[in-house]
A and B are shown apart, each in its own frame.
Chain A
Amino acid sequence: MGKAGARTLVEKVWDEHVVRSAEGEPDLLYIDLHLLHEVTSPQAFDGLRLAGRRVRRPDLTLATEDHNVPTVDWDKPIADPVSRTQVETLRKNAEEFGVRLHPLGDIEQGIVHVVGPQLGLTQPGMTIVCGDSHTSTHGAFGAIAFGIGTSEVEHVLATQTLPQAKPKTMAVTVNGSLPEGVTAKDLVLTLITHAGTGGGQGYIVEYRGQAIRELSMEARMTVCNMSIEWGAKAGLIAPDETTFAYIEGRPEAPQGEDWDAAVAHWRTLVTDEDAEFDREIVLDASEMTPFVTWGTNPGQGAPLGASVPSPDEFEEPDDKVAAEKALAYMGLEAGTPLREVKVDTVFVGSCTNGRIEDLRVAAEVLKGRQVAPDTRLLVVPGSVRVRLQAEEEGLDAVFKEAGAEWRGAGCSMCLGMNPDQLAPGERSASTSNRNFEGRQGKGGRTHLVSVPVAAATAIRGTLSSPADLEPATAGAR
Chain B
Amino acid sequence: MRVPGLGHLFRWRYARPVLQAPLLVLSLVMILHGLFGPSLAPKNLATTLSWLHFRGLLVLVLLCAGNFFCLACPFMLVRQWARRIFQPRFNWPRALRNKWLSVGLFVLILFTYELFDLWSSPWWTAWLIVGYFLSVLVVDGFFKHASFCKFVCPIGQFNFVASTLSPFEVKVREQDVCTRCHTKDCIRGRREPVSDLVTIRGCELALFQPSKVGNMDCTFCLDCVHACPHDNIGILSRLPASELMVDPLRSGVGYFSRRKDIAALAIVFTLGALLNAFGMVSPVYAVERWLGQMLHVSHEAPVLGVIFAFFLIVEPVLLLGVAAYLTRAWVGDANAGTRALLPLAVRYAYGLVPLGFGMWLAHYCFHFLTGLYTLIPVTQNAIASLGRPLLGEPRWTLTGLPANVVQVIEIGFLLLGFAGSLVVTYGLAENDSPDRPLRAFLPWAAVCLVLWCASMWLMFQPMEMRATLMSG
Q: Do A and B belong to a common assembly?
A: no
